[in-house]
């Protein structure tokens, strides 16, 4: 079996020891010290990659990105003895580790394991022409009025899904005054604005590259840092972002503003379900009724699930009266716990992380548990085009 052996390092020192050892076994080692050339070297279906980086890259982050983009590659991380962490290496997709000050016996054992694994996998290659692949479920969180609780629900529902083991993304659809980052207490270096400028339409730039991972292991595509930056973002950009997010995540939550534009209508149209926030107040209910009529006119009402926020039984209108006014069933009620919601906003930490046992937390958890994830598509034997993440940036 012909194995493609590759050695990537951010230095210019050729790995004589590894090369000599492989030559004795009639293998050739390809030495690469540039990201652009590494991409080409990893295209082979049978590749073993040594990674020995010291300054430009974090060895674990690099390993994780390569393992996602090139799952066929057998990755061996070369790390100093004091840094060696096999558990962490496995978590980021590496197959083995080798100390940089290795003994020849260590190298021989590592190479033998790699060869044995590759031979075994070659025998186990699937012959099925088509497989089923899950695609991400898109949930748009909307509402007819500001301050109705859309963002609070979005960030906390994201945490609930993540705790269920889902890969979760949050897209801030309020492109002028989005607050998702504030609610997670982060200041993103890159946003949807940078993705539109640099990554949109470029195969070697991934959406994930422009996302910020926040507490709860959630990836956030933040709104632009300046309100005026939204002008260059179109519905086609949003469509492309959602489509790519479907391929990367199990759940994509989109926090939408109160007003409707082409961008937001596109988001609603692409959503699998629309969580429409409302309140127990006549003025809010009138706006909600108008919002529902608008969605009905564009044939999106069937996707809607009404969420009644800050509901206190015995205060205001009864639940059945609210449903009569809106001519729709209420999917979920969220209890009024102002102290829980406000304290989480001030702390920049979702209450599903700090106070998930509160009545409000339990209601959000119930929403997540009631979701239907049975959405799959057929994927033919044709390979999907891979994208390149942060490498080379």
Give the confidence band of 132 by pLDDT, cuts at 50, 70, 90: very low
Considering only the top CATH level, what class is 134-377? Answer: alpha beta
Q: What is the mean pLDDT of residues 62-77?
A: 82
Looking at the predicted structure, is the pLDDT value of residue 140 above 90? Answer: yes
Looking at the predicted structure, is the pLDDT value of residue 202 above 90? Answer: no
Please state, in angstroms and rounded to a whole number, the distance separating the CA atoms of residues 39 and 388: 8
Specify whether the CB–CB gap between 222 and 208 falls below 8 A. no
Nearest to 177 by CA among 273, 259, 242, 97: 259
Give the confidence band of 90 by pLDDT, cuts at 50, 70, 90: low
Q: What is the mean pLDDT of residues 315-322?
A: 87
Q: What is the mean pLDDT of residues 378-388?
A: 39
Stronger pLDDT, 162 or 39, i.e. the higher one: 162
Q: What is the mean pLDDT of residues 50-54?
A: 84
Give the confidence band of 124 by pLDDT, cuts at 50, 70, 90: low
* pLDDT value for 256: 92
Report the greatest alpha carbon distance in the chain. Answer: 82
Mean pLDDT, the chain, integer: 82
Nearest to 41 by CA among 17, 75, 18, 11: 75
Give the confidence band of 375 by pLDDT, cuts at 50, 70, 90: very low
Looking at the predicted structure, is the pLDDT value of residue 126 above 80? Answer: no
* pLDDT value for 245: 92
Looking at the predicted structure, is the pLDDT value of residue 189 above 60? Answer: yes
Give pTM, 2 decimals.
0.61
Looking at the predicted structure, is the pLDDT value of residue 392 above 60? Answer: no
Q: What is the mean pLDDT of residues 179-197?
A: 89
Asked if 4-123 and 134-377 have one fold, the answer is: yes
Domain ranges, ordered by start, for the chain: 4-123, 134-377
Q: Write out pLDDT tens, residues 219-231.
A: 999 998 888 887 8
- DSSP secondary structure, 328-351, as one string: S-EEEEEE--HHHHHHHHHHTS-H
Q: What is the mean pLDDT of residues 9-37?
A: 88
Give the confidence band of 122 by pLDDT, cuts at 50, 70, 90: low
What are the φ and ψ backbone dihedral angles of 74, each rounded to 5 degrees? -90, 115
pLDDT above 70 covers a percentage of the chain that reads 86
* pLDDT value for 372: 55
Q: What is the mean pLDDT of residues 26-32?
A: 91
Please state, in angstroms and rounded to a whole number, the distance separating the CA atoms of residues 310 and 72: 50
Specify whether the CB–CB gap between 157 and 180 falls below 8 A. no
* pLDDT value for 38: 87
Specify whether the CB–CB gap between 289 and 326 falls below 8 A. yes
Specify whether the CB–CB gap between 264 and 257 falls below 8 A. yes
* pLDDT value for 86: 58
Q: What is the mean pLDDT of residues 287-294?
A: 91
Length of the chain: 393
Give the confidence band of 133 by pLDDT, cuts at 50, 70, 90: very low
Considering only the top CATH level, what class is 4-123? Answer: alpha beta
* Three-state secondary-structure class, residue 132: strand
* pLDDT value for 7: 94
Q: What angle do CA 291, 296, 299 make, to 5 degrees?
A: 130
* pLDDT value for 258: 85
Lowest-confidence segment of 17-26, 119-128, 235-244, 285-294 by average pLDDT: 119-128
Q: What is the mean pLDDT of residues 15-36?
A: 90
Please state, in angstroms and rounded to a whole number, the distance separating the CA atoms of residues 318 and 284: 15
Q: Write out pLDDT tens, residues 157-183.
A: 999 998 888 899 999 999 888 889 999
Stronger pLDDT, 97 or 305, i.e. the higher one: 305
End-to-end CA distance of the chain: 35
* pLDDT value for 127: 37
Looking at the predicted structure, is the pLDDT value of residue 1 above 80? Answer: no
Specify whether the CB–CB gap between 20 and 45 falls below 8 A. no
């Amino acid at each position: 079996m012909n194995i493609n052996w590759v050695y990537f390092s951010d230095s210019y020192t050729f790995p004589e020891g590894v090369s000599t050892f492989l030559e004795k076994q009639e293998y050739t080692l390809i030495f690469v010290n540039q990201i652009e050339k590494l991409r080409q070297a990893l295209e082979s279906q049978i590749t073993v990659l040594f990674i020995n980086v010291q300054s430009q890259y974090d060895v674990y982050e690099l390993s994780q990105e390569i393992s996602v983009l090139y799952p066929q590659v057998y990755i061996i991380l070369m790390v100093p003895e004091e840094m060696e962490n096999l558990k962490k290496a496995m978590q980021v997709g590496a197959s083995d580790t080798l100390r940089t000050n290795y003994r020849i016996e260590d190298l021989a054992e590592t190479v033998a394991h790699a060869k044995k694994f590759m031979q075994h996998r070659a025998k186990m290659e699937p012959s099925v022409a088509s497989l089923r692949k899950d695609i991400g479920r898109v949930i748009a969180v909307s509402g007819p009025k500001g301050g109705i609780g859309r963002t609070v629900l979005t960030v906390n529902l994201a945490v609930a899904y993540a705790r269920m083991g889902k890969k979760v993304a949050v897209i801030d659809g309020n492109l002028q005054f989005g607050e998702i980052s504030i609610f997670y207490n982060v200041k993103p270096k890159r946003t949807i604005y940078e993705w539109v400028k640099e990554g949109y339409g470029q195969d070697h730039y991934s959406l994930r590259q422009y996302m910020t991972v926040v507490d709860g292991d959630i990836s956030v595509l933040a709104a632009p840092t300046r309100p005026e930056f939204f002008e260059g973002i179109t519905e086609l950009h949003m469509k492309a972002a959602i489509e790519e997010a479907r391929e990367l995540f199990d759940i994509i939550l989109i926090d939408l503003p109160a007003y409707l534009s082409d961008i937001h209508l596109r988001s609603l149209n692409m959503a699998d379900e629309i969580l429409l926030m409302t309140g127990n107040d006549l003025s809010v209910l009138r706006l909600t009724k108008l919002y529902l009529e608008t969605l009905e006119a564009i044939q999106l009402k069937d996707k809607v699930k009404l969420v009644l926020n800050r509901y206190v039984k015995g205060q205001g209108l009864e639940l059945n009266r609210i449903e009569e006014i809106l001519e729709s069933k209420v999917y979920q009620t969220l209890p009024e716990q102002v102290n829980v919601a406000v304290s989480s906003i001030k702390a920049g930490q979702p209450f599903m992380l700090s106070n998930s046992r509160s009545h409000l937390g339990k209601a959000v958890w119930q929403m997540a548990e009631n979701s239907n994830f049975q959405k799959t598509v057929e994927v033919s034997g044709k390979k999907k085009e891979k994208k390149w993440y942060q490498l080379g940036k």
